[in-house]
Amino acid sequence: MGGADNLPGFEELSLGQLLETKTGYNVFIDNDANMMGMGEWIYGAAKGCSDIVFLTVGTGIGGALIINNELYGGYKNRGTELGHIIIRHEGLPCSCGSRGCFEAYASATALIDRYRFQNPDALESADGKYIIECYLQQEPAAVAAMTYHFDHMAAGIAGFINIFSPQKIVIGGGISEAGDFYIRELTKK
């Protein structure tokens, strides 16, 4: 048991047990990416599969793995931080303190940063949804930023395919709602 850096006061707390007592339900606590993976595996896009890689693409990139019909977490459930595999040695700084992580290149945050780099006059309110709208209208800065995003996303996914040979890669998070073109463009890479 440990704590969460962004939830002060929650250190060494048996949250599952507390919620179970309060609600009378069976409570199972795990990280959000793992729970998204379990949900898609049991009820959603990966129903019936035995080996799956899940990515949640948003502020960062979360990951989860189902290997041989089991959620895989590594030793003490500290693994499957798929957003923090290093894809560029000494690359861009990442929120985890390392540099060159997949997340620093392929998250929605990275997409917005790249768009601002391409278009320094971009609106303060430019978010992932706005950039996708501009991309679909072929705005050059948005096309460049999305191409950069697709290139890095595809490189990360290719790595996961080589390691895990999954039946499916399931992408969740805000960016996955962009539309069918998103998967089409990634598949082309």
Give the footprint of Zn ion on this chain (CB under 5 A). 84, 94, 96, 98, 101
Nearer to Zn ion, 84 or 152 (CB): 84
Nearer to Zn ion, 36 or 110 (CB): 110
Could you tell me the smallest distance in angstroms from the CB atom of residue 92 to Zn ion? 10
Could you tell me the smallest distance in angstroms from the CB atom of residue 162 to Zn ion? 20
Do β-strands 52-57 and 168-172 pair in parallel, antiparallel, or remain unpaired?
A: parallel
Could you tell me the smallest distance in angstroms from the CB atom of residue 102 to Zn ion? 8
Convert 24-91 into a string of H (helix), E (strand) and C (coil): CCCCCCCCHHHHHHHHHHHCCCCCCCCCEEEEEECCCEEEEEEECCEEECCHHHCCCCHHHCECCCCC
What is the 8-class DSSP label of residue 176?
Answer: G
Nearer to Zn ion, 3 or 93 (CB): 93
Could you tell me the smallest distance in angstroms from the CB atom of residue 62 to Zn ion? 12
The Cα 2–Cα 167 span in angstroms is 33
Nearer to Zn ion, 95 or 118 (CB): 95
